Amino acid sequence: MVRRGENIYKRKDGRWEGRYKKGRREDGKIVYGYIYGKNYQSVKDSLPLYKSKYNNTKEVKGELSINLEEWLYHWLSQNKNMIKESTYSGYKYKIDKYILPVIGHIEINKLTIEDLENMIMTWQDSGLSSSSIRVVFTILRSSFLFAVKKKYLNENICDHIDLPSEKRNKIRSLTLVEQKMLENEARKSMDGLGFAVILSLRTGLRIGELAALKWEDIDMEGNYIYVSHTVQRIPKHNGKSKTKIIYSTTKTQTSIRKIPMSDDVKNWLLKRSNTSTPYIFSNNDTPCEPRLITYHFHKIRERAGLNNVHFHQLRHTFATRCLESRADIASVSSLLGHSSIKMTLDIYADTMMENRVKAIKNMEMMIKTSL
| Per-chain mean pLDDT for the chain | 86
Instruction: State how far the Cα of 286 lies from the Cα of 133, in Å rounded to an integer.
Output: 35
Stretch 166-194: mean pLDDT, rounded? 88
Q: 10 to each of 14, 185, 220, 248, how far by Cα in Å?
A: 6, 83, 84, 60
Instruction: State how far the Cα of 239 lies from the Cα of 96, in Å rounded to an integer.
Output: 17
pLDDT digits (tens, 9 = 90+) for 78-102: 888 888 888 899 999 999 999 999 9
pLDDT level of residue 30 (50, 70, 90 thresholds)? confident
Stretch 30-40: mean pLDDT, rounded? 82
Instruction: State how far the Cα of 45 lies from the Cα of 209, in Å rounded to an integer.
Output: 67
For position 353, what pLDDT does the model report?
67
Cα 301 → chain centroid: 28
pTM score, whole prediction: 0.67
For position 58, what pLDDT does the model report?
60
Best mean pLDDT range from 33-37, 46-50, 350-354: 33-37
